[in-house]
Amino acid sequence: MMKTHSDHIDVTTLIRTLDAAESTPGAVALRERGYELLGLNPGATVLDVGCGTGRAVAELAERGARAIGVDLDPVMLAAARERFPGADVRAADAAELPLAAGEAHGYRADKVLHILPDPESALAEARRVLAPGGRIVLVGQDWDTMVVDSGLGELTRRIIAARADTIPHPRIARAYRNLLLDGGFTDVTLEVHTMIRTDAAARLLLAKHATAAHDTGAITAAEAEQWTADQNHRAATDRLLLAIPMFLAAATR
């Protein structure tokens, strides 16, 4: 299975939060760099696995590609079709893609592998659908190394660690290079880009971290309230800072 974005969260709020994150200059630049590394020619078929609300599918289509998005979340797929009429988005699993062997020239998975039950199977499927010379691009954050400005250092460390431990593969992004090499890909490159968030909308992401940490028993309700209140105050006074290392890997089939 792939990520199911809409579980246990208000969909409107989630889409608004995703839009805010993906519209930041850093996020836009990171997507552009990923598109560059795909090296697609006009008319080339490219898969966006875990496409969510379809932004990358639309952007790739605007660049002349035959872009296909796949996701398992029907709510996200419906949002993609509403936001980008005509976009080719389909319900499919990362381990069972709706393409023939060698049909794709490009493959991207942005913030996806960390949530998959079997990332190696997904990469084997990526290799199956890619034609010889096709390019793969993986993007993801390292959940253990998020940096949050806070005067509550020890509490912040506990929250970040506890949130990471709720993710199936929180450190997989740092392993992208080795996974691609082990999967038989060549010309593997790896870059790290730091995503900086100072916008008030980032407080929603941080609040989710505190909630997750409390749910695991790593922090008390009082600690969650104290930490969230501090971050909300920082957001209200333009003093919030969240820095996220984003790993960008690319390789050739």
Instruction: Tell me the three state secondary structure of residue 89.
Output: strand
* 80, 15 Cβ separation under 8 angstroms: no
The whole-number pLDDT of residue 19 equals 78
CA distance 85 to 73: 18
* DSSP, residue by residue, 85-112: TT-EEEE-BTTB-SS-TT-EEEEEEES-
How far is it, in rounded angstroms, from Cα 209 to Cα 187? 36
Beta-ladder partners of 45: 66
Q: At what angle do helices 25-38 and 55-62 cross, to 10 degrees?
A: 50
* CA nearest to 150, candidates 218, 230, 90, 45: 230
Burial class (CB in 10 A: 0-12, 13-18, 19+), 75: middle
Helices (H) and strands (E) in the chain, counts: 9, 8
* The pLDDT value given to residue 252: 98
Return averaged pLDDT per consecutive 10 residues of the chain, 253 residues in all.
44 76 86 97 97 96 97 94 95 97 98 96 98 98 96 97 97 98 98 94 93 98 98 97 97 98
**What does the pLDDT read at residue 5?**
41
Residue 154 has a pLDDT of: 98
Residue 62 has a pLDDT of 96
Identity (one letter) of the amino acid at 90?
R
Q: Residue 168 and residue 171: Cα distance in Å, rounded?
A: 9
* Residue 137 confidence (pLDDT): 98
